[in-house]
Structure 1
């Protein structure tokens, strides 16, 4: 699993972020729903936990069901909600690099790109 380095520095106001219990539970419920649902899909299609020996048909079914779940359950909308709740707690004052702490922390993430580009 990729473990990006922590940002080099944070504004003092961002060194400690406080969430309400309601917000923390809302985020945890969304994470649990997505994580456990995707885990259940994986266990259904790969009950032995090994996808190396999976035939092409089972792999295609797994991919189709995973995509269907992500789309039908609006996974990206749910993730955006979690990001919005967490981000709201940060001081977004720009640093010398014209970025705030969040922008700086995510700037170098290895995001998906079109293959071959």
Structure 2
């Protein structure tokens, strides 16, 4: 993105809806990690999966992405990607339990 890029415009209700979905996921993951049962390996191995599946976390995050998507430039560049694809192209993704987590 360059300094000459147009402003990022998403309708306020959509941005707030996306923020609520993201906040639900972040606050819930924090609550799971902070729970007194988090010291129990069996519970800690089970509870995040129960949350992700039961609360449909992937659907919620996909919904948040769809709400924010209209604010990006969708023109395909010489690299064959639009603005959002280009920004995410180098993002690390989980592939297996042996893959180390990326630093931030």
Instruction: Note whether the superposition's TM-score is higher than 0.5.
Output: yes
The structure carrying a bigger helix percent of its residues is 2
Q: Which runs of structure 2 are paired with 1:57-76 in the superposition (5 Å)?
A: 58-76=40-58
> Contact 2:18 / 2:65 at 8 angstroms: preserved in 1?
no
Q: Aligned pair 1:35/2:26, yes or no?
A: yes
> Contact 2:10 / 2:70 at 8 angstroms: preserved in 1?
no
Task: Return 5+ residue gaps in structure 1 as ranges.
Answer: 1-8
TM-score (norm 1): 0.72
TM-score (norm 2): 0.79
Computing the radius of gyration over CA atoms, which structure comes out larger, 1 or 2? 1
Q: Aligned pair 1:96/2:87, yes or no?
A: no
CA RMSD between the two structures:
2.3
Number of aligned positions between the proteins: 99
Task: Return 5+ residue gaps in structure 2 as ranges.
Answer: 100-104
Q: Per the alignment, do residues 92 and 29 of structure 1 end up closer, same or farther by CA in structure 2, a change over 3 Å counting?
A: same
